Amino acid sequence: MQRSSVLRTQNVSKYFYSPEKTQVLKEVCLDVKKGEFVSVMGKSGCGKSTLLYILSTMDTDYEGQLYIENELVTGLDAKILSRIRNEKIGFVFQFHYLLNEFSALENVKIPAMKLGRYSPEEIEHRAMEKLRIFGMESHALKKVHQLSGGQKQRVAIARALINDPLIIMGDEPTGNLDKSNSDIVFNIFKELATEFHQTMLIVTHDDEFAKGTDRIIEMEDGRII
Ligand SMILES: Nc1ncnc2c1ncn2[C@@H]1O[C@H](COP(=O)(O)OP(=O)(O)OP(=O)(O)O)[C@@H](O)[C@H]1O
């Protein structure tokens, strides 16, 4: 059976003016299908993060079209895009961006509170459930600064999953971790793919990580090769 499209671009190009006009993305066409675990690789400066910002609807200044579930999102206004992001996209970055003065549990709850779809009891239940999946239940009430690097990243992944997003996007989620924590985080992504059929698009420099994904998108000088 043909799997449906989750995220698709048509001829996406991006220019920076700094100060001369430079094209950093060149007619990028990609299509991520439901349940696919895709990695994006390429040398430093080839345009991976720039592409990710566009795919995640955070950067709207580009040429070409972006479709989410076959709906054109290019050109939609900022408020609608913000709602789409909150509902459909979970993010995991190299740096965890957790709020240090809050507990692990409180951090995981934040995107669900912003979304306003669930009751406070449901949010609490969902957050604890996500933390439990990643073996973080017993650390739920610890403040972020009391957690190790690998634990913080697990909390960040739990936070990305709280609203059951259509797609998880990651920008080098293992980039800051040592080998053993990298392996733990990779295994979490792998489990999300195999057990939960979570659609994921992850930018990585890590060959081992990329080899474990369903498909590697290789970029060079602003193009997919
Ligand atoms: N705000 C900006 N203004 C001007 N040029 C930029 C800007 N942001 C990125 N660039 C340039 O665009 C190109 C692509 O950058 P990008 O960050 O997407 O690369 P990358 O593949 O993610 O690199 P890395 O692997 O090092 O993170 C680079 O040449 C970079 O210098």
- 113 CA to centre of ligand 1 in angstroms: 33
Query: Which residue from 19, 60, 67, 14 is spatially nearest to 223, judged by alpha carbons?
Result: 14
Give the per-residue pLDDT at 181. 85
Pocket test for ligand 1, best of 17, 20, 24, 174 (most atoms within 8 A of CB): 24
Give the per-residue pLDDT at 146. 95
Question: What is the Cα–Cα distance from 98 to 56, expressed in whole angstroms?
Answer: 19
What residues does 13 pair with on adjacent strands? 63
Give the per-residue pLDDT at 1. 65
- 134 CA to centre of ligand 1 in angstroms: 33
Nearest CA to ligand 1 atom 26: 44
Domains of the chain, each with CATH number or no CATH:
5-224 (3.40.50.300)
Indicate whether residue 24 lines ligand 1 (CB < 6 A): yes
ipTM above 0.85 for this complex: yes
Give the per-residue pLDDT at 144. 95
Question: What is the Cα–Cα distance from 209 to 67, expressed in whole angstroms?
Answer: 27
Laid out side by side, the sheet with 63-68 consists of: 21-33, 5-17, 63-68, 71-72
pTM, entire model = 0.91
Task: Kindly give the interhelix angle for 120-133 and 104-115, rounded to the nearest 10 degrees.
Answer: 130
Q: Which residues of the chain have pLDDT under 70?
A: 1
